Every structure is written in C-alpha cells, then in structure tokens.
C-alpha cells in the first residue's frame, strides 16, 4: 500500500514530537538521535558560513547546546529542522561578528591554478564562494543556496533588508570577477 504525502507528513511530525519530548526529559539517547539526524547538514551550513573546519565544529556544538536549552520554546510552527537551522545560522553569524576579521578580497583570493583554466566545476565554484568576505559569503549562502528571502535573512541576522540586498549584490559582483579570472 502506497503512503500518501499526508501520512508521511504525519509520521514525520510524530517522530519530531517523540524527539522533542525525549530531549525535554533529558534522555541522552534521544538527544544523540536528534543530534545525529541534523548535525551533518548543519555542519555543512556552518562550515560554508565560517570557512573554517575547527570553528565550524565549535559553533555547531554551541548551536546544539542552544537547541537543547531552548527546545521547550519550539512551537511546531515550522519543522524541527528549520527551527534548528535558524539557531545554527544565528550562532555562525554571531561567531563571525565576534571574530571581527572581515578579510579583504586581495588577501583572500586563492592562488590561480593554471591547470583548470577554461573549466568550471562544483569544487571550483565552492572554493570561489568560500573565498568571498565573511559577510558577503553568509548572505550569498543564505539567499542563493539555502533559499531564504531577504526579509527572513534580515530578521535572522538582525540586519536591515537593504543591508542583506546590498551584501548579496556585492557578493555576486565579486563572484563574477572571480569567475572571470578563473576562466581566463
């Protein structure tokens, strides 16, 4: 018998409720299950924002501490994964602000590898995105990769909608320049 979308959604909701209730009871096995379910995807997101493996691990741990500490506030208005993602994004952005090391484009441009002239693949594109200055990279990833709207990004990061838009425009401009240089 084929499972309908409504039945699948209901099963997912029941699973999330079970995870939430177990975590609220401080059940370590359930907390680990929740962490294991979401940590890989969230780590990828944090790494893309921070562009640093070790810092991404630390921020991910801090974010999950916030998740477990604030789970009682989750109101089921979105999926549990979406709620966790917002906490993770805010933790990464806060870390960026605390780090206060917005690098200049000149200091952050990777060495041009002659062997890849004229071609573009996912690894090159990811490297170019990661080479963007922190603030621009964060906005680019949230809007263009994660699909958030500017008003959502503004709310998440406590910035204006206009700042989000201008950061994205500048990120795209830098990325176009980098792509041109890469493909020369």
Q: Is the same domain home to 42 and 85?
A: yes
- Closest by Cα among 87, 170, 177 to 133: 170
- Closest by Cα among 12, 42, 18 to 31: 18
Predicted local confidence at residue 78, as pLDDT: 86
pLDDT under 50: residue ranges of the chain:
101-118
d(CA 133, CA 49): 10
Q: Is the same domain home to 30 and 118?
A: no
Helix (H/G/I), strand (E/B), else coil: 146: coil
Predicted local confidence at residue 113, as pLDDT: 43
- The residue from 55, 85, 101 where one domain ends is 101
CB 166 within 8 A of CB 152: no
Q: Is the same domain home to 4 and 90?
A: yes
- The residue from 101, 120, 137 where one domain ends is 101
CB 91 within 8 A of CB 62: yes
The domain of 35 spans 1-101
User: What's the domain count of the chain?
Assistant: 2
Q: Is the same domain home to 92 and 123?
A: no
Q: Is the same domain home to 4 and 57?
A: yes
For residue 58, give the CATH number of its domain: 1.10.1740.10
Q: Is the same domain home to 145 and 117?
A: yes
For residue 142, give the CATH number of its domain: 1.10.10.10
Q: pLDDT tens digit string along 67-83?
A: 999 999 998 888 899 99
Q: Is the same domain home to 142 and 82?
A: no
Predicted local confidence at residue 100, as pLDDT: 58
pTM as predicted: 0.70
Q: pLDDT tens digit string along 1-29?
A: 677 888 777 777 888 899 999 999 999 99
Q: Is the same domain home to 120 and 184?
A: yes
Q: Is the same domain home to 141 and 177?
A: yes
Q: Is the same domain home to 78 and 118?
A: no
Predicted local confidence at residue 182, as pLDDT: 79
Q: Is the same domain home to 134 and 153?
A: yes
Q: Is the same domain home to 9 and 66?
A: yes
CB 63 within 8 A of CB 91: yes
- The residue from 83, 101, 119 where one domain ends is 101
- Is the torsion defined by CA of 152, 158, 161, 162 positive or negative? negative
Predicted local confidence at residue 120, as pLDDT: 57
CA 84 to chain centre: 10
CA distances from 93 to 99, 116, 140, 170 (A): 10, 32, 13, 18
């Amino acid at each position: 018998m084929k499972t309908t979308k409504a039945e699948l959604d209901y099963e997912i909701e029941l699973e999330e409720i079970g995870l939430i209730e177990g975590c609220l009871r401080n059940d370590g096995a359930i907390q680990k299950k929740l962490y294991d379910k979401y940590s890989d995807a969230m780590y990828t997101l944090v790494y893309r924002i921070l562009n640093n493996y070790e810092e991404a691990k630390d921020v991910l741990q801090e974010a999950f501490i916030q998740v477990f500490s604030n789970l009682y506030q989750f109101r089921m208005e979105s999926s549990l994964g979406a709620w966790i993602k917002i906490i993770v994004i805010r933790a990464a952005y806060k870390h960026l602000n605390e780090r206060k090391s917005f690098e200049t484009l000149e200091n952050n441009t990777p060495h041009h590898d002659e062997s890849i002239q004229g071609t573009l693949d996912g690894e090159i594109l990811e490297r170019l995105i990661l080479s963007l200055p922190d603030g621009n990279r964060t906005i680019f990833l949230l809007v263009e990769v994660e699909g958030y709207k500017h008003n959502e990004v503004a709310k998440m990061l406590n910035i204006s909608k206009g700042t989000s838009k201008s950061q994205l425009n500048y990120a795209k401009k830098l990325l176009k320049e980098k792509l041109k240089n890469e493909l020369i």
